[in-house]
A and B are shown apart, each in its own frame.
Chain A
């Protein structure tokens, strides 16, 4: 079930992406609306990260094309922010929290220029928004998983973009941090920004997202959560994992979403 957005901010046409000639995304065709909080869900290896990377031009398309703000990526880079999966970088790298957040300003600064005072102010402000102001001089190797994730988020905020792509911002984050982050993302969409988030936890989907995109190598569904997030689509996306599905089915029926308890992963 694929519902098109009117006045789309992201347009993907017949996108196929392959690694070593082996396609991992097939014929993805969709549009995403402006100003919404959008979730990408699907099982492990479904191609969620791949879709975002393809949009960001990090991997070449085998076929199809992508338009952002009705334009090519290279013309609108400074309006787009990308938050990679946390594990893709080495957190033992000799850098402070401030160093990382300032990276969010590099795109605006341009090549060879050093961060100015305004950039530091924007970075500091971004840290304040994720409650990490007091950590600006902390080494990134000393942060917990949740704090690392918030540093990445602060870097994205420092970009002052209009459209955000975040790969699993809730992975390895405790419940309190998850709440802080989702509140922040909400505020961003209320200001008219568009936030696209790869998400793992089916239980919170209806709570969090206005629009949902269900993926399993091909696009199963894309549309407003209320219309698309149903048992049939979940069945199609997750295939045979029935125990999980019936659980989710029950949840959907009851409309109840039990609170979860996750432990923050502190790096030893």
Chain B
């Protein structure tokens, strides 16, 4: 799953570029639609190579996203001269520019950072999606054959989920850049997985971790005068490391302590 998210975050690049080339617009909705489409296509290709091409899942993911990403890069370099869409901007959206990139209405009213609205909208969409489809997402992920047997379309939900991952990825991509997308897609849930075994709590803890990482990362960057994205990625590593060592049940230290005390067996 983490791998697929990572893959999509790279593979959506040609989607963004194509959406831009076709419509000539850099507005966020266009980008999101382009990226969402490619995200679903990526999922489809991964499945296709895995099922029909008999590739292992990881190989299939690797092949799919590298060449889609490559296509994206080629598209950018070919059209770079003509379009106002530079490699840096798409590949490494910069979180430091967020406050400068304002949404100003036609009447000239300054509404605040543009990204805030995009990310906020995506957040609402994703929350609604999880809230409405929780039961189906839960079942199709855990036991696809049972889901199919009771008449729930596993494939539909898989694509919806991947579509959601794509939209999230792209919205974030554009605003904070690739490093943070990958770091935040994987580190908070992986950390939360060490802290709880309940899916709902896991999602809540992931979100809280995301906020903690952002804040602490920001102050780390401010203190060291370093890159914000880099500092946040580093903090996500720190939080994971702490959970890895000190988590109540899954933690390394707890496990060592447990080994030393009389071994109790769970029945």
List chain A positions with a Cβ less than 8 A from chain B. 53, 56-58, 74, 77-78, 80, 82, 84, 88-90, 93-96, 99-100, 103, 106-107, 109, 111-115, 139, 141-142, 144, 155, 159, 266
The A-contacting residues of B in range 122-177, CB under 8 angstroms, are: 132-133, 135-136, 138-139, 141-143, 145-146, 148-152
Among A56, A88, A94, A114, contact of B198 (Cβ-Cβ < 8 Å): A94
Closest to B196 in A: A94
Task: Report how far A88 CA is from B197 CA in the complex, Å.
Answer: 20
Q: Which residues of A contact B141 (CB under 8 A)?
A: 93
Cβ of A96 and Cβ of B139 under 8 Å apart?
Answer: no
Cβ of A95 and Cβ of B142 under 8 Å apart?
Answer: yes
Task: List the 4 closest A-B pairs by CB distance, nearest first.
Answer: A107-B150, A82-B149, A139-B197, A56-B149
Can you list 30 A-B contacts with CB-CB less than 8 angstroms, sorted by A residue number? A53-B145, A56-B149, A57-B149, A74-B151, A80-B149, A82-B146, A82-B150, A84-B146, A88-B145, A93-B141, A94-B197, A94-B198, A94-B199, A94-B202, A95-B138, A96-B197, A96-B198, A100-B142, A103-B138, A103-B143, A103-B146, A106-B150, A107-B150, A109-B135, A112-B133, A112-B136, A113-B135, A142-B266, A144-B267, A159-B150
Q: Which residues of A contact B267 (CB under 8 A)?
A: 144, 266
Q: Which residues of A contact B148 (CB under 8 A)?
A: 56-58
Q: Which residues of A contact B149 (CB under 8 A)?
A: 56-58, 77, 80, 82
Among A57, A89, A112, A115, contact of B132 (Cβ-Cβ < 8 Å): A112
Query: Per DSSP, are chain B's interface residues mostly helix, strand or loop, or mixed?
Result: helix
Q: How far is the CB of B83 from chain A (nearest CB, A)?
A: 42
The yes or no answer to B69 lying at the interface (CB within 8 A) is: no
Closest to B134 in A: A114
Q: Which residues of A contact B146 (CB under 8 A)?
A: 82, 84, 103, 155
Q: How far is the CB of B190 from chain A (nearest CB, A)?
A: 12
Q: Which residues of B contact A103 (CB under 8 A)?
A: 138-139, 142-143, 146
The yes or no answer to B82 lying at the interface (CB within 8 A) is: no
The A-contacting residues of B in range 88-142, CB under 8 angstroms, are: 132-133, 135-136, 138-139, 141-142
